[in-house]
């Protein structure tokens, strides 16, 4: 079932949180809603499941207008950011709650709850109360409660944030498997780009109540539409530097990059202010376009080493290289950039 948000707006009193948001999620698709804290991700989820009334705009499930439909009348499973478990009920009863409300038979309830508990490794926790669970355990209960009734739409607000690395990897594929199996259309809110990229078909990047770009993880990473996206996606993050166009080159103090042909003539004129974005993996000793500066910071991450390179003009570029550390802080070095893989942005922030 396709979910479609049309010109969705949401205000809390005078505060406009979401403005004219358009988003279509295809049948059985899983989309990640990615964005900085406070950008309106939870608000969007609440509108989709019907907890909040939308201020204006329409929401469609398939060809049914559900804008004014209360949450009780939609089959939507939600994993809340705060878990929102029922504190007075045991884990078993928490998971069984949607089924009990739906008046499933006892046998059905027992079978489904136990199945869910098995999938999420919670068999031995069923008798506990939420207050007796760790954060990660609570999160799994919330997940089980959302999934147990095979919802048509699954909304997850950072469902894996509290899990340890191993469990998180396992749950990622488990959620994805359940989602594929049941064919529910899902939105996954997350801060974690890796999670977004690895679990979802597409990513919608939000900022300040607006969708910045929707696309596949590859699109986002290699073809960001603007500076915000380029800056948000990628870890360690991309480095930016401001400069000018001179003789078909991007020029700033200590760095000169030849512009690609598609930009050279048409998109920019000499003297124009533009900026460059260089992902850390495209700055290495062996690339062609020279860059000179001083190493000001080094962070060893085990498999990789992270260097901060400060140019004469003060701009800082980051480089990530595998292998052992090749120089020390304070060393003056001359490395290279892969000019084909850098992004140029105009003054409005859009990629040229």
Partner 1 sequence: MRGIRRFLPALFMLPASLSVTLFFVIPVFMTFVFSFTTMSSDTGILGSRYIVSEATIRTLKDGDLDAALVRQLDSRVFAVNEAGLAALRKSNLKPTVVKEIEEKLSGKVYASEKQLFAALKGLSNRPRSFKDRKMVSKAVVQTLKNREFTTPKEFRAGLASIGIEVTDDVFDVLLEVANTSWKWTTGNYSELMASDFTWKILANTAFYVVLTLFFNVGLALVLALVTFYMPSGQSKFFRAVWLIPRVSPSVIYIMLWRWLSFDGGFMSYILGFFGVQPENWLNEFPWTFVIMANGFVGASMGMIIFASAVVAIPADVLHAAEVDGAYPWQQVRRIILPLMAWPILFITTYQTLSLMTSFEYILLLTDGGPGFFTTEVWALNAYHTALSNYYGNLRYGFGATLAVVLVAVGIAMSLIYLRLFDFKKLVAEPQIEN
Ligand X SMILES: Nc1ncnc2c1ncn2[C@@H]1O[C@H](COP(=O)(O)OP(=O)(O)OP(=O)(O)O)[C@@H](O)[C@H]1O
Per CB under 8 A, residues contacting partner 1 are: 46, 49-51, 70-72, 76-78, 80-89, 97-98, 101-102, 128-129, 131-134, 137, 145
**Cα–Cα dist 150/146, whole Å:** 8
Smallest gap from residue 72 Cβ to partner 1 (A): 5
Helix (H) or strand (E) holding 256: strand 255-258
DSSP secondary structure string for all residues of 126-151: TTS-GGGS-HHHHHHHHHHHHHTT--
Answer yes or no: are the C-beta atoms of 158 and 138 closer than 8 Å: no
Nearer to partner 1, 18 or 291 (CB): 18
Tell the smallest beta-carbon distance from residue 187 to partner 1 (Å): 14
Least distance between ligand X and beta carbon 38 (Å): 4
CB 49 within 8 A of CB 78: yes
x/- site string to Mg ion, residues 62 to 101, per CB under 5 A?
-------------------x--------------------
Q: Which is nearer to ligand X, 52 or 168 (CB)?
A: 52
Q: Is 8 or 97 the residue whose CB approaches partner 1 more closely?
A: 97
Query: Facing residues of 343 across strands?
Result: 277
- Answer for which of 8, 10, 21, 42 binds Mg ion (CB under 5 A) is 42
The DSSP element (H or E) to which 237 belongs, if any, is none
Q: How far is the CB of 339 from partner 1 (least distance, A)?
A: 50
Residue 175 C-beta: closest distance to partner 1, Å: 18
Q: Which helix (H) or strand (E) holds 258?
A: strand 255-258
Q: How does strand 153-157 pair with strand 76-79?
A: parallel
Binding site for ligand X (CB under 6 A): 12, 15, 17, 37-43, 81
């Amino acid at each position: 079932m396709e979910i479609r948000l049309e010109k969705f707006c949401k205000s809390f009193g005078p505060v406009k949180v979401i403005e004219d948001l358009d988003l279509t999620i295809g049948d059985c698709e899983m989309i990640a809603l990615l964005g900085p804290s406070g950008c309106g991700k939870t608000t969007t989820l609440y509108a989709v499941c019907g907890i909040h009334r939308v201020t204006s705009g329409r929401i469609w499930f398939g060809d049914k207008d559900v804008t004014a439909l209360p949450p009780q009348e939609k089959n939507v499973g939600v994993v809340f950011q705060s878990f929102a478990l029922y504190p007075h009920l045991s884990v078993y009863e928490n998971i069984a709650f949607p089924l009990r409300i739906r008046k499933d038979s006892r046998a059905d309830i027992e079978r489904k709850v136990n199945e869910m508990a098995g999938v999420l490794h919670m068999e031995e926790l069923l008798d506990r109360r939420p207050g007796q669970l760790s954060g990660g355990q609570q999160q799994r209960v919330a997940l089980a409660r959302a999934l147990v009734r095979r919802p048509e739409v699954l909304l997850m607000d950072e469902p894996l944030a509290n899990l340890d690395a191993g469990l998180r990897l396992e749950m990622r594929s488990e959620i994805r498997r359940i989602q594929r199996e049941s064919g529910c259309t899902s939105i996954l809110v997350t801060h974690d780009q890796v999670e977004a990229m690895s679990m979802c078909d597409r990513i919608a990047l939000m900022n300040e109540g607006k969708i910045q770009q929707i696309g596949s993880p590859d699109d986002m990473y290699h073809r960001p539409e603007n500076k915000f996206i380029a800056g948000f996606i990628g870890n360690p993050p991309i480095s930016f530097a401001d400069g000018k166009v001179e003789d078909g080159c991007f020029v700033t103090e200590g760095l000169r990059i030849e512009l690609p042909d598609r930009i050279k003539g048409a998109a920019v004129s000499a003297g124009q202010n533009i900026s460059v974005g260089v992902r850390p993996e495209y700055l290495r000793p062996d690339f062609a376009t020279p860059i000179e500066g001083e190493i000001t910071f080094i962070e060893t991450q085990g498999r990789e080493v992270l260097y901060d390179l400060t140019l004469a003009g003060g701009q800082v570029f980051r480089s990530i290289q595998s292998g052992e550390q090749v120089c020390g802080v304070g060393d003056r070095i001359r490395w290279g950039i892969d000019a084909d893989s850098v992004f140029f942005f105009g003054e409005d922030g859009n990629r040229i």
